[in-house]
């Protein structure tokens, strides 16, 4: 029995690894009775060799699947070892990992076994066991299986901290081409159901404090980048709509890892488009924390994020009339738009400039990337619009000074 679980774990963790979301933040589930809490913000318990945070036990209930999506390793036409847990095995595994502080909780996804309803029911059973039998208050992130009965999705939302439905392919037309058994309706109807139920539960809880929570950590989704020809502009526009309309907490971008190279509907990639993926995350940050609208970052005339520089720098170079920004006077929003200045530094600047003039020394200490910022600011050492370089000169200098830009994958 033990050997069996080991084997299943090996197969089903391997099969789940392409789902990139790992965050465990944003919930608050107390530990009145039972064990655990889902309160702490995004604790990473380890990091994979590829540098991703391991926070949750991310695993498939089964890698059996009745569907045949072109971009997926688990599609039915692939010949590979298949396995399925039982709810008891998976709940026990989660508890034992949690008790040892290996994980913050469980991220449960699955191939579609027999039918969407049957699969959703199995996932719910795992969560029910954890919550009711083991009295587990830790974090549970569950996939809502597209096509499952709304009642089952509702039940999932009452058990889990976060639900997600993956859109995967950023346009319906391409989704139909690569996954003929799916369409946007099967994805968006559970998504809308979830956001509606979340709203409802929040309203209820205003009236009765004891009303049940529905997915208190919200919902997220994943978009695969590079398996289909959508531009970055299309992708950001879609993401922006998801944040606005469906009130998603996170959109994850996953550079397509070339699996199923035999399928001629897929592009022939040597390796996953990691730089592009990183630029999309940066653009996403600009929307979520830097008050940028998607159509400020890109537009129909510039539909592609520059690979050689981060999107904020690209924005600044396209909009020279907005700079330089005077650090002693400008608003928080304006300072946020300076390349090389992050959220924390911007806050410190605004809160402390009453004590004196901001200078290079201060900025360096705060971790501001002066090599970029200096072209776009006024401060003690740069009291007036002294630098007369134009955008293309700045661009030249910056691209030269960051030769490794393509390899460096940090945020800003």
Q: Which residues bind ligand SF4 (CB under 6 A)?
A: 65, 67, 69, 72, 74-75, 111-112, 179
Q: Segment near another protein (CB under 8 A), from 68-76, 214-222, 331-339, 353-361?
A: 353-361
> CB within 8 A of 398, min separation 6: which ones?
309, 313, 371, 372, 375
Which does residue 50 bind out of another protein, ligand SF4, none, counting CB within 5 to 8 angstroms by kind? another protein
Backbone angles phi, psi at 139, to 5 degrees: -85, 130
Rg of the Cα atoms in the chain:
23
DSSP 87: H
Q: How far is the CB of 148 from ligand SF4 (least distance, A)?
A: 12
Residues 359 and 361: their CA atoms lie apart, in Å, by 5
Considering only 51, 207, 392, 403, the residue that binds another protein (CB under 8 A) is 51
Q: How far is the CB of 93 from another protein (least distance, A)?
A: 7
* CB closer to another protein, 78 vs 391: 78
| Residue 289 in tokens | 């924390």
Contact present, 220 and 162 (Cβ < 8 Å): yes
DSSP 136: B
Q: Which residues contact 263 (CB under 8 A, 6 or more apart)?
A: 70
Within 34-131, where are the H helices? 87-99, 116-128
Site for another protein in 90-149 (CB under 8 A): 93, 96-97, 99-102
Single residue of 264, 268, 271, 404 touching another protein by CB under 8 A: 271
In angstroms, what is the minimal distance from the CB of 343 to another protein? 15
Contacting another protein (CB under 8 A), which of 34, 303, 308, 320? 34
Q: What is the C-alpha to C-alpha distance for residues 183 and 40, in angstroms, rounded to an integer? A: 36
Q: Which of 58, 75, 162, 372 binds another protein (CB under 8 A)?
A: 58
Cα–Cα dist 70/74, whole Å: 10
* Position among 351, 383, 396, 401 found at the interface with another protein (CB under 8 A): 351
116 and 65 in contact (C-beta within 8 Å)? no
383 binds another protein (CB under 8 A): no
Cβ 243 to another protein, closest distance in Å? 26
CB-neighbour burial class of residue 34 (10 A; exposed 0-12, middle 13-18, buried 19+): middle
Query: Would you say 183 or 408 has its CB closer to another protein?
Result: 408
CB distance 158 to 58 below 8 Å? no
How far is the C-alpha of 149 from the C-alpha of 162, rounded, in Å?
18
* Residues facing 357 on adjacent strands: none
Residue 41, judged by CB atoms within 10 A of its CB (0-12, 13-18, 19+), counts as: exposed
Nearer to ligand SF4, 168 or 310 (CB): 168
CB of 69 to ligand SF4, least distance (A): 3
What, of ligand SF4, another protein, none, does residue 14 touch, CB below 5 to 8 Å by kind?
another protein
Tell me whether residue 191 or residue 280 sits nearer to another protein (CB atom).
280
Can residue 36 be called a binding residue for another protein (CB under 8 A)? yes
Q: Residue 74 touches which of another protein, ligand SF4, none (CB < 5 to 8 A by kind)?
A: ligand SF4
Residues lying near another protein in the complex (CB under 8 A) are found at: 2, 5-6, 9-11, 13-14, 16-18, 31, 34-37, 39-40, 43-55, 57-58, 93, 96-97, 99-102, 255, 257-258, 271-272, 274, 348, 351-353, 355-356, 358, 361-362, 365, 409
């Amino acid at each position: 029995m033990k050997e069996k679980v080991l084997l299943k774990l090996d197969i089903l963790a391997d099969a789940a690894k392409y789902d990139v979301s790992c965050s465990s933040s944003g919930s608050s589930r107390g530990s009145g009775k039972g064990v655990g809490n889902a309160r702490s913000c995004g604790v990473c318990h380890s990091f994979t060799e590829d540098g991703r945070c391991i926070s949750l036990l991310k695993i498939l209930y089964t890698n059996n699947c009745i569907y045949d999506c072109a971009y997926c390793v688990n599609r039915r036409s692939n010949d590979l070892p298949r396995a399925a847990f039982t709810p008891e095995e998976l709940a026990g595994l989660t508890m034992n990992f949690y008790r040892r502080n290996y994980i913050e909780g469980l991220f449960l996804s699955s191939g579609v076994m027999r039918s969407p309803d049957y699969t959703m029911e199995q996932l719910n059973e795992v969560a029910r066991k954890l919550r009711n039998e083991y009295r587990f208050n830790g974090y549970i992130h569950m996939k809502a299986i597209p096509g499952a009965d709304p009642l089952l999705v509702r039940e999932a939302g009452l058990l889990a901290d976060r639900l997600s439905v993956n859109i995967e392919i950023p346009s319906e037309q391409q989704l139909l081409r690569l996954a003929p058994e799916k369409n946007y309706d099967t994805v968006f109807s559970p998504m809308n159901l979830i956001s509606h139920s979340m709203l409802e539960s929040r309203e209820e809880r205003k009236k009765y404090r004891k009303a049940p929570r529905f997915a208190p950590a919200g919902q997220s989704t994943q978009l695969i980048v590079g398996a289909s020809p959508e531009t970055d502009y299309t992708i950001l526009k879609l993401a922006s709509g998801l944040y606005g309309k469906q009130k998603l907490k996170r959109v994850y971008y996953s550079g397509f890892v070339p699996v199923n190279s035999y399928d001629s509907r897929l592009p022939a990639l040597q390796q996953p488009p990691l730089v592009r993926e990183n630029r999309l995350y940066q653009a996403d940050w600009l929307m979520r924390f830097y008050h940028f609208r998607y159509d400020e970052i890109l537009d129909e005339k510039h539909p592609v994020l520059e690979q050689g520089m981060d999107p904020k720098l690209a924005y600044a170079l396209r909009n020279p009339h907005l700079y330089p920004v005077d650090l002693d006077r400008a608003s928080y929003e304006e300072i946020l738009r300076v390349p090389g200045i992050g959220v924390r530094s911007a806050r410190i600047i605004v809160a402390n400039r009453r004590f004196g003039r901001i200078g290079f020394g201060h900025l360096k200490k705060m971790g501001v990337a002066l090599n970029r910022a200096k072209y776009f600011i006024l401060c003690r050492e740069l009291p007036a619009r002294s630098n007369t370089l134009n955008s293309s000169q700045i661009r030249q200098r910056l691209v030269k000074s960051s030769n490794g830009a393509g390899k460096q994958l940090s945020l800003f």
